[in-house]
Structure formats: structure tokens, C-alpha cells
């Protein structure tokens, strides 16, 4: 069965490539703009296709394979059936009920009165909030500090505006010792301070972090905040997994620290918040004097995102505002559910001899694969990083899709970290069981 599946997948790839080449148009001058150079590869495009081609059990791309909660599904249906205006343009910078509910909800958390019409921009997912931030705030030649491992789109977005990405890695606390938790990965204050120069315009942080699951502690955020204030630098804080923390770990917003509201852009995602990644509703929250520039980019690019989806997310926040802190709140129920899935995946990895690094937050878990010996027997991939080779092999030969962790590193540092792969656990128990079955059989040599 496995061999036939592989042959069919290979034939599909060959057919797709023939069709593509048939349509190629030859021009005598350079067709592409230079900004597209060096950013053409994308880990999600590549590995999501690979998982589909091989019909693999998918613990790769980060999306729930279960439905969003009933209350937001019903809100979406109600919006779609809610009359003609739900199908038309709404306010460019965010559907009024959504910006009002986001402002009400997050004012309480940030400890700052957020103005719904000045301080919030609703975007096409967190991706577009990040895009607007880089486009609106970073000039050619500006430096942007990125903490590694980082969600991969930060680097091309900085590059496409002509900025220079400057990297600083989180490192395992005690080199050589077993690293058991994402909390063991820390930023060196000296190393970070050394990256700030007069050209530094912004720093990008991601808490809870994808792929590691690190949730920054208040002291760590304070150290970053002090540097931002000292060097007059902006902070782009990607907090799409803000509700997903475990074992009593608390997510802290850097925008809530003294002196940071005025210089922080906080990015959020309705897709991650309500387990509906396909809706592509995201937002940026910041002081109006920053937001007005992001709005300029937004109004001249996408203008706004789907009205009905915004209405549904607005209803979701309305409900969560009322239930905040109670056991009925989805922001309590989702992490409670994921707590079990995290444990299930960790035990599965341990049972086949892989040491998981327990995430404090988010829905990913990484593990060190350096002890696993595989004969790839494939010359075409010999220059690829080890984790890329391994993930491809695992997908094609064993039918289990994961993501190589070096994709979350700069070329300078990726070699140091190509011994890790990432598993996503926001999946049905049946999917996690299927993955466990594959790993167990493999470890038993079947």
C-alpha cells in the first residue's frame, strides 16, 4: 500500500510540474521585482502540500482539525443570514461592533483605555497586521531585531521593505544539560543589548512563542521594555496564542508595562482565539499615533476583511467579556482541552524515546531528533538541513507530517538548531492516536 501511495504521489508532483512549465511565458527582461528574491520559499506552502500529497497524519501546520465552538459558528451563520449589509463593505479599519468589543475586552487587560476607532485596526489575519506594521513603520536601511526561533513571516516582511533583520536567539539555559521545558530557553540580556544600534527601529517578540511554546516572564519583558525605552525603539508583540498557557503560567502583555503602550503594536488573531483559522480575522492594537500609519497601508491594500467573519468574532468577544474568568469561558476551556492533548503527545514521544520540550504555551511541541538514525538514501536532498530531510522522510515513508524547526531560524543560526522538529497538538484525539500508532510501529521496527 505504502509503495503504491508513494508512486501516486510522485506522479502527481511530476504532472503538476509539467502543467506549470507548459504555461511559462518567456520575457526578454527581468519579470520579477527584486523584493521577491530570496523570499520565494515558504515552509507552509511546501510542507502542507507534502502532507496532502502523501495523505499523511497531519501534526504539521498549526490549525485545529476540530470545529470552532458552537457560539461562534452560530454567530457566523446568523451574520450570513443577517440581511444585505452583512454581505457588503463595512468600515475600512474594522467593523464597528468588532472594534468596540475588542476595545472593551482588551482595555481591561492592558490597563489602558483603548479607543475603538483610533487604536485598533482589524486585518486579514495576524499576518496582515504584521505586514501593515512593517510596511508602515520600517524604512529602507532600518534594523529590526527578531528573537529566534521566530514565526517565519517576520523575516520576509522585513526584507520586503528593505529593512535589515538582526537576529538574537533564545538559548537553552544550561548548555549540555537536558532541556525539558520551553522556560529553559532564555534571552541573554547582554547579547540582546548588543544588538541595539542607532539604526534599530523595532524589535519583534512572540509570546507564547511559535514553535517553542515559551511564555515570556514579566522580568524578561521588562528587560526588553527597558531596552526599547532606552533606545527609543518600537516593539511588535505577536500574541496570537495569548489564551493558551498551561500549568499556571501567565501571559503578560508587554504593552501593559510602564512606558510601553506608546511604543508597542500588539498583534492578535481571531483564527487562533476561536479555533477558526480559515476566517482570517486578525487585529493590531496600539496607540493612535502609530495606528494611523498602519491604517494608511491597510486602506490602500486590502481595505478590509470579510464583514460576516468580523461580526462573528465580535459576538465571540461579547460573550467572552461576560464570561471572562469563569469555567464557561472558551479562553479557559480551550487551554484546558489542550492541556490534555499536550500531555498525550508528550507521553507518546517519550514512549518512543523522544524527549519533548514541554511548551508553557501555544499549541506546538518540539523534540530533539539527533539520536534518531535514518538512512535517507536520497541524494537530491543532501544539502538540506537535517530536520528538513527528516521531516520529509517521516511524511513520505511513515505518513506522519511535522515541521522542521530550523525554518524558524535565520540562515546564520539554522545549523545550530536543525536537530529539532515541531509537532502540533491542536488536533482530535483520534489524530493524535494515529500519530502515536505510526511512531510506535516505527520504533518497534515494523
> Of 6 and 61, which has the nearer Cβ to ligand GLN?
61
Q: How far is the CB of 94 from ligand GLN (least distance, A)?
A: 22
Site string for ligand GLN, 26-65 (x = CB under 6 A): ------------------x----------------xx---
Instruction: Please identify which residue in 210, 249, 273, 414 interacts with ligand GLN, judged by CB under 6 A.
Output: 210
Q: What is the size of the binding site for ligand PMP (CB under 6 A)?
A: 14
Q: Given the rule CB under 6 A, which of 13-21, 45-53, 91-99, 122-130 is the region that contacts ligand PMP?
A: 122-130
Pattern of binders to ligand GLN over 155-194, x per CB under 6 A?
Answer: ----------------------------------------
Nearest-CB residue for ligand GLN:
62
44 binds, among ligand GLN, ligand PMP, none (CB under 5 to 8 A by kind): ligand GLN
When asked if residue 255 is in the footprint of ligand PMP (CB under 6 A), the reply is no
> Is residue 240 a contact point for ligand PMP (CB under 6 A)?
yes
Pick 9 or 424: Cβ nearer ligand PMP: 424
Helix/strand/coil (H/E/C) assignment for every residue in the chain: CHHHHHHHHHHHHHHHHHHHHHCCCCCCCCCCCHHHCCCCCCHHHHHHHHHHHCCCEECCCCCCCCCCCHHHHHHHHHHHCCCHHHHCCCCCCCCHHHHHHHHHHHHHHHCCCCCCCCCEEEECHHHHHHHHHHHHHCCCCCEEEEEECCCCCHHHHHHHCCCEEEEEECEECCCCCCCCEHHHEECCHHHHHHHCCCCEEEEEEECCCCCCCCCCCHHHHHHHHHHHHHHCCEEEEECCCCCCECCCCCCCCHHHCCCCHHHEEEEEEHHHHCCCHHHCCEEEECCHHHHHHHHHHHHCCCCCCCHHHHHHHHHHHHHHHHHCCCCCCHHHHHHHHHHHHHHHHHHHHHHCCCCEEECCECCEEEEECCCCCCCCCCHHHCCCCHHHHHHHHHHHHHCEECEEHHHHCCHHHHHHHCCEEEEECCCCHHHHHHHHHHHHHHHCCC
Least separation, in Å, of the C-beta of 267 and ligand GLN?
A: 12
Q: Which is nearer to ligand PMP, 9 or 244 (CB)?
A: 244
Q: What part of residues 258-277 is at the interface with ligand PMP (CB under 6 A)?
A: 269, 271-272, 277
- Assess 134 for contact with ligand PMP (CB under 6 A): no
Between 150 and 261, whose beta carbon lies closer to ligand GLN?
150
Residue 282 lies near ligand PMP (rule: CB under 6 A): yes
Query: Which residue ranges make up the site for ligand GLN (CB under 6 A)?
Result: 44, 61-62, 210
Query: Which residue ranges make up the site for ligand PMP (CB under 6 A)?
Result: 62, 125-127, 151, 206, 210, 238, 240, 269, 271-272, 277, 282
Amino acid at each position: 500500500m505504502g509503495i503504491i501511495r508513494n508512486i501516486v504521489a510522485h506522479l502527481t508532483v511530476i504532472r503538476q510540474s509539467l502543467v506549470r512549465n507548459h504555461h511559462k511565458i518567456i520575457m526578454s527582461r527581468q519579470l520579477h521585482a527584486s523584493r521577491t528574491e530570496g523570499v520565494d520559499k515558504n515552509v507552509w506552502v511546501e510542507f502542507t502540500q507534502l502532507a496532502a500529497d502523501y495523505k499523511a497524519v497531519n501534526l504539521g501546520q498549526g490549525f485545529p482539525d476540530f470545529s470552532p465552538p458552537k457560539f461562534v459558528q452560530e454567530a457566523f451563520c446568523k451574520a450570513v443570514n443577517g440581511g444585505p449589509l452583512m454581505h457588503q463593505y463595512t468600515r475600512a479599519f474594522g467593523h464597528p461592533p468588532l472594534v468596540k468589543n475588542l476595545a472593551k475586552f482588551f482595555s481591561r487587560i492592558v490597563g489602558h483605555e483603548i479607543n475603538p476607532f483610533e487604536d485598533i485596526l482589524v486585518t486579514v489575519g495576524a499576518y496582515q497586521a504584521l505586514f501593515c506594521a512593517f510596511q508602515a513603520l520600517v524604512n529602507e536601511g532600518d534594523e529590526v531585531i527578531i528573537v529566534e526561533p521566530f514565526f517565519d513571516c517576520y523575516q520576509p516582511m522585513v526584507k520586503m521593505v528593505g529593512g535589515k533583520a538582526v537576529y538574537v536567539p533564545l538559548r537553552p539555559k544550561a548548555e549540555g544539560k537536558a532541556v525539558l521545558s520551553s522556560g529553559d530557553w532564555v534571552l541573554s540580556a547582554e547579547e540582546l543589548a548588543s544588538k541595539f544600534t542607532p539604526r534599530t527601529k523595532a524589535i519583534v517578540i512572540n509570546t507564547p512563542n511559535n514553535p517553542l511554546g515559551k511564555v515570556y516572564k514579566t522580568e524578561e519583558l521588562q528587560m526588553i521594555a527597558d531596552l526599547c525605552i532606552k533606545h527609543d525603539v518600537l516593539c511588535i508583540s505577536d500574541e496570537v496564542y495569548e489564551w493558551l498557557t498551561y500549568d499556571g503560567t501567565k501571559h503578560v502583555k508587554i504593552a501593559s508595562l510602564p512606558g510601553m503602550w506608546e511604543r508597542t503594536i500588539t498583534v492578535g488573531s481571531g483564527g487562533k482565539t476561536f479555533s477558526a483559522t480559515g476566517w482570517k480575522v486578525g487585529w493590531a492594537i496600539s496607540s493612535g499615533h502609530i495606528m494611523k500609519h498602519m491604517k494608511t497601508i491597510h486602506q490602500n491594500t486590502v481595505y478590509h476583511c470579510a464583514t460576516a467573519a468580523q461580526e462573528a468574532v465580535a459576538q465571540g468577544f461579547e460573550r467572552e467579556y461576560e464570561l471572562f474568568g469563569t469555567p464557561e469561558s472558551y479562553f479557559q476551556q480551550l487551554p484546558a482541552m489542550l492541556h490534555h492533548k499536550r500531555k498525550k503527545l508528550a507521553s507518546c514521544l517519550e514512549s518512543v524515546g523522544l524527549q519533548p520540550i514541554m511548551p508553557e504555551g501555544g499549541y506546538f511541541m518540539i523534540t530533539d531528533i539527533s539520536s534518531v538514525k535514518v538512512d535517507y538514501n536520497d541524494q537530491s536532498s543532501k544539502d538540506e538541513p537535517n530536520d528538513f530531510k527528516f521531516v520529509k522522510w517521516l511524511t513520505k515513508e511513515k505518513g506522519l507530517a511535522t515541521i522542521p524547526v530550523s525554518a524558524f531560524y535565520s540562515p546564520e543560526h539554522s545549523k545550530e538548531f536543525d536537530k529539532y522538529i515541531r509537532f502540533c497538538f491542536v488536533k482530535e484525539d483520534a489524530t493524535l492516536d494515529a500519530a502515536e500508532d505510526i511512531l510506535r510501529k516505527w520504533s518497534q521496527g515494523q
